[in-house]
Each structure stands twice: as C-alpha cells, then as structure tokens.
Amino acid sequence: MVWITWLGAALVMLGVLYSAHVAIFRGRMSNPHTTQAGVPTLEPKRSGIRVLGVRDNWPGLAMIVVGAAILLFGFLTHTPG
C-alpha cells in the first residue's frame, strides 16, 4: 500500500511542475514599451493575474487535487503496526 502514497505524491509534484511550466513558458516575459506617464518599462501590458487562471492550468490543478485525494485516502486507510 506504500505505492498509493508514492502515486499521490508524484501526482501532486507533477501538477505543480505543470502549472509552473505553463506560467513560465506562456510568452514573452518582458515587453519594452512606454507607460502613459512617458516612463519606459519592461513590464508587459495588461498582465494581471492571468498567470493563475484556471483555463490554462486546469490539468495541473486536476493532478494536484487527485494526488491530494490519493494521499488522504492512503493516510485514512493506513493501519499502524
């Protein structure tokens, strides 16, 4: 039954890595332009909190949730001794 713990942990880690991969390789990290105040900046226009969006990260979030459920199941069915 130890394999259940390993499976859950692997799914959680893969989900986190997938979400990080999506956020890192989304596109250009910097977009040189001038702000409305006339100050040059490297920050992208309209970046917002889109990095944490569910639409692009749902496979990673699903892996994390399934892995956590498997870990919880393994914890609840563990018999000491």
The pLDDT of 11-23, averaged and rounded, is: 93
Separation of alpha carbons 40 and 31, rounded Å: 10
pTM for this model (two decimals): 0.72
Q: Which residues contact 55 (CB under 8 A, 6 or more apart)?
A: none
For 36-57, letters b (16+ CB in 10 Å) and e give eeeeeeeebeeeeeeeeeeeeb
pLDDT > 90: what percent of the chain? 40
pLDDT at 20 over 70: yes
pLDDT at 66 over 70: yes
pLDDT at 81 over 70: no
